[in-house]
Amino acid sequence: MARSRNIKPGFFSNEHLAEVDFATRLLFIGMWTEADREGRLEDRPRRLKMALFPADNVDIEKMLADLEHLGFITRYTVGSFKAIQIVNWSKHQNPHVKEAKSIIPEMPVAEPCPVKTGASMVQAPDEPGSFPADSLSLDSGFLIPDSLPPSPAPAMVENLFPKFWKLYPRKVGKDKAEKAWAKLKVTMALYDTMAAALAKQVLTPEWTKDKGQFIPHPSTWLNGKRWEDEIPDYASNVHPFPSRRSSSEPDFDDQTWADDLGSAL
């Protein structure tokens, strides 16, 4: 007879169960409803197939073997009777106190207890659960908490947007720019990369012509990750002095002349 059982959120994040396919995980849940109050059920793959997967083409025998290999169930025989024990059943479920006692023989050799010496793997038949059932894992006695522990708070990062806004040459759409900036989660290293790219882009003809009307909006620049553009080094191609001279004038293309001029100041 099928019974209502508990299922905790931790079941779905169990990394060991993730090693088996979806149907095997569903079989494991279904076996809880077929097990008695001690977590035992008959080892009858065909019967489980009809009870849990009547309309599906699944290999119950292989699925049971996978669950046993991972340590979630133990298959055993007493005489000619084949049975399955769900490992650490009382840690996962709290059967009702009035639920009928098991008629399935227990395993002839007790398996080592993963929690502490002398602790029973099953709940005493006439005692209600003294602690809430938990979820399944192969770690720490096959238990994991109901929810994952919160991740450590990330290190505080300075809000660098004001520096970017001050640096960007076209100050339009500040609200949109701030939203785009927030999505990027800018670190100091990324900000330095952006600043270096802007230092080159402000010298390009596309940004200097027509009083900068072709400079992209800051939100567009951020959303497009324009700091990753390949930018020619225009600064190195701009000569600091006009190339003009008469026969009596110094050679303006001669850098030594400029150096001499600077030392005379």
Average pLDDT, the chain: 76
Residue 216 has pLDDT above 80, yes or no: yes
CA–CA gap between residue 60 and residue 46 (Å, rounded): 8
Type of residue numbered 69 = H
Please report, rounded to a whole number, the percentage of residues in the chain having pLDDT higher than 90. 35
Q: What is the pLDDT of residue 149?
A: 54
Q: What is the pLDDT of residue 140?
A: 40
Q: Which two tokens stand for residue 158?
A: 């300075």
Beta strands (DSSP E) in the chain are: 40-42, 73-78, 81-86, 135-136, 143-144
Type of residue numbered 45 = P
57 and 36 in contact (C-beta within 8 Å)? no
CA–CA gap between residue 125 and residue 122 (Å, rounded): 9
Residue 43 has pLDDT above 90, yes or no: yes
Please report, rounded to a whole number, the percentage of residues in the chain having pLDDT higher than 70. 69
| Three-state SS letters, 40-61 | EEECCHHHHHHHHCCCCCCCHH
CA–CA gap between residue 34 and residue 27 (Å, rounded): 10
Residue 103 confidence class, pLDDT cut points 50, 70, 90? confident
Phi and psi at 61, nearest 5°, equal -60, -45
What's the chain's length in residues?
Answer: 265
Where are the domains positioned within the chain? 9-144, 161-264
Q: What is the pLDDT of residues 53-87, one digit of tens each?
A: 999 999 999 999 999 998 999 999 998 899 999 88
198 and 152 in contact (C-beta within 8 Å)? no
Q: What is the pLDDT of residues 172-215, one digit of tens each?
A: 999 999 999 999 989 999 999 999 999 899 899 988 888 888 89
Q: What is the pLDDT of residues 119-178, one digit of tens each?
A: 444 444 444 444 445 444 444 444 444 445 555 555 555 689 999 999 999 999 999 999
Higher pLDDT, 132 or 105: 105
